[in-house]
Amino acid sequence: MMPETDGLQLTKALKSDIRTAHIPIVLLTAKTTDENKVEGLRTNADAYLVKPFRIDVLEQTIRGLLENRQHLKSILPPPFPKKCSRPAVKMKSAFWQISMLL
């Protein structure tokens, strides 16, 4: 339990922010109903594990998520060349501001 929020609210906040949306999130919970699982996965959590859980299941879940992210990173082109510098003209568009966060 977290003092001022719950895991679902935190997950929604992280997944809706462009700066943190790429971070894999595994929900570890005692809530076991299918309705709870659906509610958790609707927050865009990457996995939902119910307590008690086996440590090897948690480890493999994390390993799979990280390997998937690494695979995507290796096959998708970067949004801009690494040596791309800011243009001489200041761009105020939302696209430029977001791309600079990546």
Q: What is the pLDDT of residues 16-72, one digit of tens each?
A: 999 999 999 999 999 999 999 999 999 999 999 999 999 999 999 999 999 999 998
> Per-residue pLDDT tens for 67-86?
999 998 899 887 766 565 55
pLDDT at 102 over 60: no
Q: Report CA torsion sign: 64, 49, 58, 10.
A: positive
Tokens read off for 101: 């966060």
Helix (H) or strand (E) holding 29: strand 26-29
pLDDT reported for residue 76: 87
Average of per-residue pLDDT values in the chain = 84
**Could you tell me if residue 1 is inside a domain?**
no
**Could you tell me if residue 65 is inside a domain?**
yes
**Could you tell me if residue 2 is inside a domain?**
no
Range of the domain at 18: 7-101
Q: Structural domain tally of the chain?
A: 1
Task: Give pTM, 2 decimals.
Answer: 0.69
